[in-house]
C-alpha cells in the first residue's frame, strides 16, 4: 500500500536519502528504524508530498500522495506531534482537521476516546500537554479520517512502556483489519514491540530490511572462548562478519558454523548461543556504529 522506489533527496552534495526502496504491504506494521538524522523523516515527508524528492518515486495506495482525493480520508499522517498550535485546545486541533477531511464532529470524540484523551484533557490548550499527550493527539489526528494507511514519525516518542504496548494493540488491530502502517523510531525496543516488518536506514541508505524473525535469525550468534581474538580471525577468514565485544565475539553466522570454525582453529569455546532479541540490537548498533565511523572519517 506504500511503495517507495529509488527515492533520493540531496541537499547540495549531501544525500540525505540515497536510493531508498521498500514497500509496506496491507496488513503490516513496518518499523522504519534508524539513528537520528538517518533520513527517516525526510523519506516520510517525501512520501506525503511535503518535500519534493530529488529523484525516485513514492506512492501511497497506487498514486502519488498529491493525486489522492481528500488524502486525509485515505492516509493518516503524523509527522511531528509537537507541530500543533499551542493556543488551540486538543479538541479544536482535531475539529479543524475534521472540517478539512470532511468527517462529522462526532468522529472527533471517537478518536479522542480511541487514544485515551479524556474530555477534560481535550478541552485544555495543547501548550499544557505533555509529550505523551501530544503523541496521543497526533495519533487521534491520524486516525480521524478512517484511513487505510498510517504514516507515523516517532509515534512512541514520549510514551511510557504502557503507552507503547497500548499503541502496539492499536496499530496491530489496524493492520489486522487490512491497513498498512509505516512508523519510524530511533529506538530499537520500540520497533521490536510494535512492528512485524523492519526497514533499517543509516545515513540515508537502507542497510537491512525484512521481517523481525528474519532479521533476528539472520543476525547470527555470540561466542565466548579462551581466545576471542583468534576465533574472530578464524571466522573472518571463513568469510563471516565477526565483531569483538567485551561480551565475546558477535558473528553473522549460525552457532553450528561458529562451532566448526572454533574446532578448526583449535579455540576452546566456553559459551555459544544464537542471538535472541538482542541480536537485532547488536545489528542495529553495528550498523549505526559503522555509520558513525564513516561520518568521523
Partner 1 sequence: MSTATQAPAPLRPEPSVEAASGRPGVPFTRLVRVELRKLVDTRAGRWLGVVTGGIAVVAVVAFLVWGEAADATFEGLLGIATLPLVVLLPVLGIMTATAEWSQRTGLVTFALEPHRGRVVLAKLLAAVVLGLAVVAVSVAAVALAHLVGSLARDVPTAWGVPTGLALGLVLALVVYLVQGVAFGLVFLNTPVAIVASLLLPTVFSIVTSLVDGFERVAAWIDLSRVTEPLTAGTMAGQDWAHLATASLVWLGVPLAVGTWRVVTKEIA
Query: Would you tell me which residues interact with partner 1 (CB under 8 A)?
Result: 1, 3, 25-26, 41, 45, 48-52, 61-63, 65-74, 77, 79-80, 82-88, 92-93, 95-97, 99-102, 141, 146-148, 174, 177-179
Supply φ then ψ for residue 161, to 5 degrees.
Answer: -50, -40
Q: How far is the CB of 131 from partner 1 (least distance, A)?
A: 15
Residue closer to partner 1 by CB (options 69, 296) is 69
Cβ-in-10-Å burial (0-12, 13-18, 19+) of 49 comes to middle
Using an 8 Å Cβ cutoff, are 54 and 11 in contact? Answer: no
Q: How far is the CB of 57 from partner 1 (least distance, A)?
A: 14
Residue closer to partner 1 by CB (options 97, 188) is 97
- For residues 98, 101, 106, 112, the Cα torsion angle rounded to the nearest 10 degrees is -60
Q: How far is the CB of 107 from partner 1 (least distance, A)?
A: 13
Q: How far apart are CA 68 and CA 105, in angstroms?
A: 23
The residues, any chain, with a CB within 8 Å of residue 248's CB and separated by 6 or more, are 222, 223, 224, 225, 228, 271
Q: How far apart are the first and last CA of the chain?
A: 39
Q: How far apart are CA 162 and CA 141, in angstroms?
A: 21
Q: How far is the CB of 215 from partner 1 (least distance, A)?
A: 24
Q: How far is the CB of 49 from partner 1 (least distance, A)?
A: 4
Residue closer to partner 1 by CB (options 175, 251) is 175
Residue closer to partner 1 by CB (options 107, 222) is 107
Using an 8 Å Cβ cutoff, are 191 and 181 in contact? Answer: no
Residue closer to partner 1 by CB (options 87, 239) is 87
* SS3 call for 101: helix
Nearest to 79 by CA among 34, 42, 133: 42
Q: How far is the CB of 67 from partner 1 (least distance, A)?
A: 5
Q: How far is the CB of 272 from partner 1 (least distance, A)?
A: 43
Q: Cα dihedral sign for 96, 102, 105, 108? A: negative
Q: How far is CA 81 from CA 86, 87, 90, 129, 134, in A?
A: 11, 15, 12, 11, 5
Supply φ then ψ for residue 101, to 5 degrees.
Answer: -75, -25
Residue closer to partner 1 by CB (options 139, 287) is 139
Query: Grid coordinates representing 183?
Result: 512508523
Residue closer to partner 1 by CB (options 51, 243) is 51
Running DSSP on this structure, what letter comes out for residue 177? Answer: T
Q: How far is the CB of 51 from partner 1 (least distance, A)?
A: 5
Residue closer to partner 1 by CB (options 186, 275) is 186
Amino acid at each position: 500500500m506504500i511503495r517507495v522506489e529509488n527515492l533520493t533527496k540531496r541537499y547540495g552534495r549531501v544525500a540525505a536519502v540515497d536510493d531508498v526502496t521498500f514497500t509496506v504491504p496491507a496488513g503490516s506494521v513496518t518499523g522504519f528504524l534508524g539513528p537520528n538524522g538517518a533520513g527517516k523523516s525526510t523519506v516520510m515527508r517525501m512520501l506525503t508530498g511535503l518535500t519534493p524528492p530529488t529523484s525516485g518515486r513514492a506512492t501511497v495506495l497506487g498514486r502519488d500522495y498529491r493525486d489522492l482525493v481528500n488524502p486525509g480520508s485515505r492516509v493518516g499522517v503524523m509527522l511531528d506531534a509537537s507541530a500543533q498550535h499551542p493556543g488551540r485546545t486538543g479538541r479544536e486541533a482535531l475539529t479543524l482537521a475534521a472540517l478539512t477531511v470532511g468527517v462529522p464532529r462526532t468522529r472527533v470524540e471517537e478518536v479522542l476516546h480511541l487514544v485515551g484523551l479524556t474530555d477534560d484533557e481535550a478541552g485544555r490548550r495543547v501548550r499544557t500537554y505533555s509529550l505523551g499527550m501530544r503523541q496521543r493527539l497526533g495519533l487521534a489526528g491520524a486516525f480521524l479520517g478512517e484511513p487505510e494507511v498510517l504514516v507515523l514519525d516517532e509515534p512512541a516518542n514520549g510514551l511510557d512502556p504502557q503507552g507503547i504496548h497500548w499503541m502496539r494493540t492499536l496499530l496491530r488491530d489496524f493492520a489486522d483489519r487490512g491497513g498498512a502502517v509505516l512508523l519510524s523510531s530511533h529506538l530499537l525496543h520500540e520497533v521490536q514491540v510494535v512492528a512485524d516488518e523492519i526497514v533499517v536506514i543509516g545515513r540515508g541508505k537502507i542497510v537491512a530490511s525484512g521481517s523481525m524473525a528474519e532479521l533476528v535469525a539472520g543476525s547470527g550468534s555470540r561466542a565466548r572462548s579462551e581466545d576471542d581474538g583468534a576465533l574472530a580471525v578464524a571466522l573472518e577468514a571463513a568469510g563471516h562478519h565477526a565483531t569483538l565485544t567485551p561480551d565475546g565475539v558477535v558473528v553473522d553466522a549460525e552457532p553450528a558454523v561458529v562451532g566448526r570454525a572454533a574446532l578448526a582453529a583449535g579455540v576452546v569455546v566456553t559459551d555459544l548461543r544464537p542471538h535472541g532479541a538482542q541480536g537485532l540490537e547488536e545489528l542495529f548498533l553495528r550498523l549505526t556504529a559503522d555509520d558513525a565511523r564513516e561520518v568521523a572519517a
